[in-house]
Structure 1
Amino acid sequence: MNDFDFFAGHWNVANRKLVKVLAGSDEWDEFPGYSVATRHFDGAASFDEVTFPTKGFSGLTVRVFNRETRQWSIYWASSSRGVLDTRPMVGAFEGNRGEFYGEETHEGGPVRCRFIWTVNGPDAARWEQAFSADGGQTWETNWTMDFSRA
């Protein structure tokens, strides 16, 4: 239940986001960010706020560990929308890698979504988001965040 303990603290974030998602594009937008993360419930919850100064918005992530299923539920909110997502990404860590899956909407249609968290030591981590339009047979990574401890 302490999988996200590594994330507590202040981080610099190098973002790389695909300009056109699920369109066969290879054009990426790169932009900075910074994040502050905290742990709660003795490690069974984790919150963070990530700010994207050149984009003019922030995001908030709430992660809660279910002791019965041994899985995390991850919820996202953006300052640009002002809504906490009600459909969580759900999954678990195995070693230094966590995989989380859920349903998203892209351009009005449903897509499968995957987050991959990779812990690269005490001062570095990576988050990746990918979408699948074919039920998870193929995945397109559309956003990566490389975290380095500030």
Structure 2
Amino acid sequence: MTDILSRIPSAEVMPENAQPSRVAVKETARWSRRRLLGTVAGVTVAAGLGALDLLPWSKPKAADALTQWGMGDCRGYFDSSTVCVPSSALFSGNCNGSWHKDQGGSGTCYNFRYRPKPTECDGRNAWRWTGRTARRKCSDGHYEYHDCGGGNVSRFSICRTAI
């Protein structure tokens, strides 16, 4: 048994006739061709995408902000006895939450469209009644309907919700 243990090399002292291992080749710290080309390609793509962001047509357009204000601020739309005027406006099926819908649809022989009008009154879209009459929010928009039989409807519409 001592014969086997004497053949195990020491981890601290190098044997006299030691040769380099053939299993792992000792490399210097240099990049492989694949790593270098991958890095160059990554930097090129990042620079190209960054340059595209500088072009004016790549920036998102600002959406009209839907804003609201208090009772009486919208000249010609306030009436102390009626909430959300004019009474000739369409008041049904045009709400998306408490704002006017922005959607449309179509079938075999018809199409319709609800659109908010963000600048209908003094550059704003909605107003609130918070007085004694009622507590409501009114958001203006437009409704259009067309069908094959010549039925065309184009109306001012208001989304009226309780607040």
Provide TM-score, normalisation by structure 1: 0.29
Larger helix proportion, structure 1 or 2? 2
Q: Which has the larger radius of gyration?
A: 2
Provide TM-score, normalisation by structure 2: 0.27
Larger strand proportion, structure 1 or 2? 1
